[in-house]
Amino acid sequence: MLAIKLADIVDANAATAMDSSERVSAVDIGDAYTMVFSGFTPEKVMDIEEYLVVFSGYKTHRPAYSGTRHHELWYETTSTSGRLVRNLNKMLEHLATRGRVTFSGNEFTVTKIARRKKRQINQADY
């Protein structure tokens, strides 16, 4: 949904700012994705952003929404969706973070898998 809204804004701005010969070089929505990071702290998202900018094909990115544990980014690249899935999975591995990467339409969702905390059972309490 966010990608559609942003595409309309980009198309409207491109149409008013460029003549027909320049419109061909405007942002191609096929190269733009929404990346949703769920369950990550703002600090961890900053670490993630350091990886996103070094992915091959990177053009630009900008935050679309940022909450306590939910973050959305607009990401432009020349890479294919398959390469991005592999890069995101490798990034999670390098960050020593368990997570799941899914892709649908033009949206990547990276969900952190939280580890259960081990509780110490004190036998004297029973």
Q: What is the chain's alpha carbon radius of gyration, rounded to the nearest angstrom?
A: 19
d(CA 100, CA 7): 27
Domains of the chain, by residue range, sit at: 28-113
Q: What is the pTM of this model?
A: 0.70
The confidence score (pLDDT) of residue 18 equals: 47
126 residues of the chain, pLDDT tens digit each: 555 555 665 555 555 554 444 443 444 556 899 999 999 999 999 999 999 999 999 999 999 999 999 999 999 999 999 999 999 999 999 999 999 999 999 999 999 998 777 777 777 777
To 10 degrees, the CA torsion angle through 79, 83, 85, 89?
-120
Helix (H, G, I), strand (E, B) or coil at 112: strand
d(CA 90, CA 111): 14
Closest among 57, 53, 59 to 80, alpha carbons compared: 57
The confidence score (pLDDT) of residue 6 equals: 54
Within 13 Å of residue 28, how many CA atoms lie on the same side as its CB? 8
Q: What is the CATH number of domain 28-113?
A: 3.30.70
d(CA 107, CA 36): 7
Tokens 């600090």, residue located? 43
